[in-house]
Amino acid sequence: MTKRLLLYSALIIFAVFFFYPFLWMVVTTFRPEADIGALSILPARVTLENYIAVFRKIPILRAFFNSLLVSVSVTAGVLAFCSMAGYALSRLKFRGRNAIFFLILFTMMLPFQITLIPQYLLMVKFHWVNTYLALIIPFTMSAFGIILFRQHFLTIPQDLIDAARIDGCSEMHILFRILWPLSVPTLVTVGILTFMTIWNDVLWPIIVIRNQDLMTMPQLVTLFAVGGRAEGLLGLKLASATLLALPIVVAYSFFQRYFIESMATSGLKS
């Protein structure tokens, strides 16, 4: 009993430790700029002026739409293309299959920063700079997604695929009508991780997007908060940061179970 009490006390302390800054941020966005120095959780005065100012100063709704469009498109692309590649690498027989797989594995070792400049040059050559294409196309294939799908498809009995083939399925039918319904946890895992990564990405959008109407939310908020347009007002910066975190918090509350499962499945820390 005492052991349990100690454990829970420790957990509560850690929870407060992690949660307090976030809660403080949210509460502070409702404080007038003059009260921001207070560390208490309950605001003395409540105001919406920080949010009104954010909406007035930057096209945050447009950025939200951009982020949603880009994240959803990339996630859909990753699920479709990575599962196709995973299927081919796990179930189709062709020369060099393993070599291709190891090459894909190798690309995971490369930090994004190494390919950043060549990738940017490619975007310039394609005339994709300042378009949604630059935000979407380069990320519709991911080594991580391919590997996860490949490993999962290897666990599905070959007989099931053979039965589908005899029933009259094409390879695409087998993938989307037989394997996909049996791969929901993997689809959710890859989907959530991809969506989160793309939603939170700042570096790449900053490089390829200059037109404010095409900016994603993290890009816009970052430029707003550190770029001087918030005029040094902490309340505005925190309000924009809260708006940025909001969709993820909402999504997390819906997909909490899958999210935890996906972390366990992928064995990755995000």
Residues within the interface to another protein (CB under 8 A) = 157, 159-160, 162-169, 173, 178, 181-182
To the nearest whole angstrom, how small is the minimum distance from the Cβ of residue 95 to another protein? 12
| Angle value at C-alpha 124, between 118 and 125, nearest 5 degrees | 90
| Contact present, 51 and 246 (Cβ < 8 Å) | no
Length reported for the chain: 270
| Contact present, 205 and 221 (Cβ < 8 Å) | no
Alpha-carbon distance 146 to 154, whole Å? 12
To the nearest whole angstrom, how small is the minimum distance from the Cβ of residue 167 to another protein? 4
Q: Token match 């972390």: residue?
A: 263
Nearer to another protein (CB atom), residue 174 or residue 223? 174
To the nearest whole angstrom, how small is the minimum distance from the Cβ of residue 161 to another protein? 9
To the nearest whole angstrom, how small is the minimum distance from the Cβ of residue 265 to another protein? 19
CA-based Rg of the chain, rounded to a whole angstrom? 23
Q: What are φ and ψ of residue 46, in 5° steps? A: -110, 135
Alpha-carbon distance 195 to 252, whole Å? 11
To the nearest whole angstrom, how small is the minimum distance from the Cβ of residue 85 to another protein? 22
Nearer to another protein (CB atom), residue 167 or residue 213? 167
Nearer to another protein (CB atom), residue 62 or residue 165? 165
Nearer to another protein (CB atom), residue 173 or residue 229? 173
| Contact present, 268 and 52 (Cβ < 8 Å) | no
To the nearest whole angstrom, how small is the minimum distance from the Cβ of residue 165 to another protein? 5
Nearer to another protein (CB atom), residue 111 or residue 168? 168
Q: Give CA torsion, residues 108, 111, 113, 114, to 10 deg.
A: -80
Nearer to another protein (CB atom), residue 62 or residue 173? 173
